[in-house]
Amino acid sequence: NAGVMQNPRHLVRRRGQEARLRCSPMKGHSHVYWYRQLPEEGLKFMVYLQKENIIDESGMPKERFSAEFPKEGPSILRIQQVVRGDSAAYFCASSPEDRGNTIYFGEGSWLTVV
């Protein structure tokens, strides 16, 4: 049973380019969470999605950031016109249901903006 799969693991973008991060949840999981981690810091919640529905996006910047979890295919976190401050590790996690139980993390996508 494959775990949460994230790709790419490492991504380098120049300022102003777009970054697309993908997350395939564990089999049978219908809920996806995205978190951002800056060096030496904890995880900051960004967005919580169910298939075809954004449940909570209170942690996501209003501009340049968007997320989706379509009926088919992986969840996508999209960052437009990246800036150096977007450099961070982005983690995706999934859970089978909306009951506040354990969430399972992927290995993360490390974005570097040069």
Tell me how many residues contact another protein (CB under 8 A): 24
CB of 24 to another protein, least distance (A): 14
CB of 34 to another protein, least distance (A): 11
CB of 60 to another protein, least distance (A): 12
- Nearer to another protein (CB atom), residue 48 or residue 65: 48
Residue that has been written with the tokens 């380098």 in this structure: 12
CA-CA distance, 62 to 46, in Å (whole number)?
11
Checking 97-104 for CB contacts under 8 A at 24+ apart, the result is 97/30, 97/31, 98/31, 98/50, 98/55, 103/33, 104/3, 104/4, 104/26, 104/29
Joined together, the tokens standing for residue 53 give 């529905």
**41 part of the interface to another protein, by CB under 8 A:** yes
C-beta of residue 50 within 8 angstroms of C-beta of residue 98 = yes
Binding mask 52-91 for another protein (x = CB under 8 A): ---xx----------------------------------x
Segment interacting with another protein (CB under 8 A) among 14-22, 61-69, 80-88, 94-102: 94-102
